[in-house]
Amino acid sequence: MIITDLLENNARQFPDDVALVEINPAEKETRRMTWRDYALVEPTIRAPYYRREITWRVFDEKANRFANALTARGIGKGDKVAILLMNCIEWLPIYFGILKTGALAVPLNFRYAAKEITYCLKLAEVDALVFGPEFIGRVEEIADEICENRLLIYAGTGCPSFAEDYAEMTAECSGVFRMPHITEEDDAAIYFSSGTTGFPKAILHAHKALLHACRVEQQHHGQTRDDVFLCIPPLYHTGAKMHWFGSLISCSKAVILKGTSPETILRAVSEERCTIVWLLVPWAQDILAAFDSGKLNPADYELSQLRLMHIGAQPVPKSLIRRWLQYFPHHQYDTNYGLSESIGPGAVHLGVENVHKVGAIGKPGFGWTAKIIDAEGNTVVRGAVGELCLQGPGVMKCYYNDAAATAATLRDGWLCTGDMAMEDEEGFIFLVDRKKDVIIMGGENLYPVEIEDFLSAHPKIKDVAVIGLPDTRLGEIPAAVIELKDGMEATDEEILEFCQGMPRYKRPRKLIFAKVPRNPTGKIEKPKLRQIYGGERLVAAQNNG
């Protein structure tokens, strides 16, 4: 079995069940659009309405039509097709249309500049690019460079002259597609690393990894046909897509929300009767802040059906979950850990039954094993800090076209994550920090996540990032970049007094009150913070030495 079999089974068994809903609050038009309306507007695909939906049958037919269109243009098994789209109802049918041909789907980060798009297309040896209206300028900038031997396909209105129109090329194609022979071992997709330390690496996954991600998600969160998953993060990222795989394997509805404000999220949960939502830390923080300030009232929304809120992609402050459970005491909660190299979330997870261990990332997930090693590759004793390594069916095949990086990361069948972790006496794994983010102050290792977790409990602090700054005497010192809640003010002295609850050597030596930048998947952009503050002369808030 491969992952496209799940889509075809859903279309065959439950053809008229709603598969996907798109909600775009930014659109002025609010008419609700059913799959029947959507079918009528094809092949021209007009500007999106506030709400669109498609059934499993239409989903599969759209994937088949795109697969036929690609095949007619010579795209087939082993070729690569990149996707550069904002979240929309077309995203997943396009993705599955690519997989059905035997080609590899290559999702691209929507933040990529033109030069990064070019780099990724060349690194992954992409044969075709599907892009949306938001990217016309960037693609046009590099069109002359990337057009040679590449098919450019435009999904939207007003197709530019240098591309083919997606709607027109699929309009006359059959809704039935005869797939080539594809096995679980065949290549399926290339995802790109975050690229926080330079240009991203191309991560190659087989079909078996995608299928395993489906099974992991359902094993962990128990999706059934009655569930409704609210999908907010970008679909180019493994996190959002692999969590949606739980909807695919259970044949349940998913809502693609274009918007991240607290009101938008709560309204979608209420109106669509969502039962599961995966949030990033900033969105959960914003919702809680809106409740705390009185700007929003939970009683104004229908939230009783919401059974599970889970978070991943970055360390989660314990104080955030405690506050969430004060507002939602009957919610299940889970933390998910994974990397794009491990096909996204679930390699380690807390488990909804272990909310008492909030702060840990959990234990190895379904089908996964883990170990923590020292610099020589030896497994450390429980309680000691080392590098977290993973093994399981979701591990990448390699970094495509990068043998050196592959050899450094895949060792004897283990994926070395670059994350520093420790295991407690009960077998729960705690993420300490990224190896590259560890601060070495006077020969002492400091782990920024520990300091961030402590500071996040301050009632005035919305978000915090701790970075190492150069120091002539100690080598590095910890600096805390603090983003206060709206309307709040705090002094250096107030924060430093709060820090008295930490061991002296862990206390930040500098305080910087500023916004904490996060990327689209919620990760703190520490390289950006180091670039901004690392070279500046900052006044020490207080020398705690």
Of all residues in the chain, the percent with pLDDT exceeding 70 is 90
Please tell me the distance from the alpha carbon of residue 74 to that of residue 128, in angstroms, as a whole number: 10
Predicted pLDDT at 112: 87
Predicted pLDDT at 34: 37
Predicted pLDDT at 25: 82
> How would residue 437 be classed by pLDDT, with cut points 50, 70 and 90?
confident
Class level of CATH domain 438-533:
alpha beta
Q: What is the pLDDT of residues 84-123, one digit of tens each?
A: 999 999 999 999 999 999 999 999 998 888 988 999 999 9
More confident site: 356 or 130? 130
Q: Other CB atoms closer than 10 Å to residue 84's CB: what's the count?
A: 23
Assess contact for 50 and 27: CB atoms under 8 A: yes
Place of tokens 């969502």: 274
Predicted pLDDT at 171: 94
Helix (H, G, I), strand (E, B), or coil: what is residue 23? strand
Please tell me the distance from the alpha carbon of residue 188 to that of residue 103, in angstroms, as a whole number: 7
Q: What is the pLDDT of residues 298-347, one digit of tens each?
A: 999 999 999 999 987 566 778 888 899 999 998 899 988 898 999 988 99
The mean pLDDT value for 245-274 works out to: 95
Q: What is the pLDDT of residues 512-543, one digit of tens each?
A: 999 998 877 677 888 788 888 874 433 333 33
Assess contact for 274 and 229: CB atoms under 8 A: yes
The mean pLDDT value for 412-416 works out to: 94
Does the pLDDT at position 44 exceed 80? no
Chain centroid offset of residue 326 CA? 26
Does the pLDDT at position 40 exceed 70? no
Predicted pLDDT at 317: 77
| Domain 3-221 falls under CATH 3.40.50.12780 | yes
Tell me the whole-structure pTM to 2 decimals.
0.82
> How would residue 225 be classed by pLDDT, with cut points 50, 70 and 90?
very high
Q: Where are the domains of the chain?
A: 3-221, 438-533
Predicted pLDDT at 41: 34
Q: What is the pLDDT of residues 113-144, one digit of tens each?
A: 898 899 999 999 999 999 999 999 999 999 98
Average pLDDT, the chain: 88
User: Which residues lie across from 42 on neighbouring strands?
Assistant: none
Q: Which of 390, 397, 393 is nearest to 421 (CA)?
A: 390
Assess contact for 310 and 216: CB atoms under 8 A: no
Predicted pLDDT at 537: 34
The mean pLDDT value for 13-42 works out to: 64
